[in-house]
Amino acid sequence: MTVTVTQPDRADVALAALCGESRTTVARWLNAGLVFRNNTALKPRDKVCIGDVLTLDPPAPQPSEILAQAIALDIVYQDRHLAVINKPAGMVVHPAAGNREGTLVNALLHCMEDLSGIGGEVRPGIVHRLDKQTSGLLVIAKHDAAHRHLAAQLQNRTCSRQYLALARGSFSRMEGLCEGPIGRHPSHRQRMAVMPDGRSATTHFQVLENFTHAALLACKLHTGRTHQIRVHLAHMGHPLLDDPLYGIGKGERQMLHAWHLSFVHPDSGQTMAFSARPPEDFIRRVAGLGQSPWTERLSLDNPAVPIL
């Protein structure tokens, strides 16, 4: 398998983005001498440049020991290459310490025979993630070629991921970009923060309606950092409503929904677009902020939200 570097970075960072893999897994491949540039094995900290062709021979995925569970899923679309899932709030995407069961992966293993192996035993088919308490759309790869194609679109920013958000306070600007590098918070390890030495991150936002003490936003990711929208809005002084990690108070879940997803199909080459109405708790929260046409609009199967 070969991949072409699209932006200069460390070998582990660049390869993880191109393959849709974790840096831990990619670093394991690099340290095992499985990744080459011009017949020279690379190490995780080696620098790679735009246009470099990397050859890798990752080990075959081991049979999954993750429990397949009969958990109902909202499958928006599927074919032999991929599936689009509308994930509910409260569901973890893949197993980890403390969440070995009840995850999206547990459910996928029960209802789909084939998933890409690039994600390894714990993350088969997982191209990108949503936070546990974020609802909405994500795409699943059913084989490795589809996974690489979709991961490259994420890396090259040619797919579109758009969200609905409820944020604290009224906005003076009706549209704008929040640009700030994101890294691990120096003292609160569960949190991310805008940090000088963080990874570049850009979020486009548009105010759909200003309420008295909150605002309904449409947000588009130009990058995909951990907790990106949550971090950027909090950094602007507008944390998501009910966000227990970055907001004020003890809400059950942040008011964030991945409502729109579009990408190029890895086999047909056609652009595919999907939308999903927000769940009832989100709509009730909008209704509780005051009279607004958005309460009814968001209740439609195809929400009348502008595409950013």
Active site residues per annotation: 131
Instruction: With CA atoms as reference, report the closest residue to 194 among 232, 147, 220.
Output: 232
Helix 11-19 and helix 23-31, axial crossing angle in degrees, nearest 10: 120
What are the percentages of helix, strand and coil residues in the chain, rounded to 5?
20, 30, 50
Beta strands in the chain (DSSP E): 2-4, 9-10, 35-37, 40-41, 47-48, 53-56, 74-78, 82-87, 135-141, 160-168, 175-179, 182-184, 192-194, 202-210, 214-221, 256-264, 271-275
Sign of CA dihedral 226, 178, 255, 136: negative
Looking at the chain, the number of H-run helices and the number of E-run strands are 7, 17
**Backbone angles phi and psi of 148, in degrees to 5:** -65, -40
Pairwise CA distance, residues 242 & 301, whole Å: 25
Instruction: With CA atoms as reference, report the closest residue to 166 among 222, 228, 238, 224.
Output: 238
Cα 286 to Cα 17, 51, 122, 208, 240, distances in angstroms: 36, 47, 36, 12, 13
Residue found by looking up tokens 């797919």 in the block: 159
**Within 13 Å, how many C-alpha atoms sit on residue 158's CB side?**
15
Tokens of 276: 């999903």
CA 222 to chain centre: 11
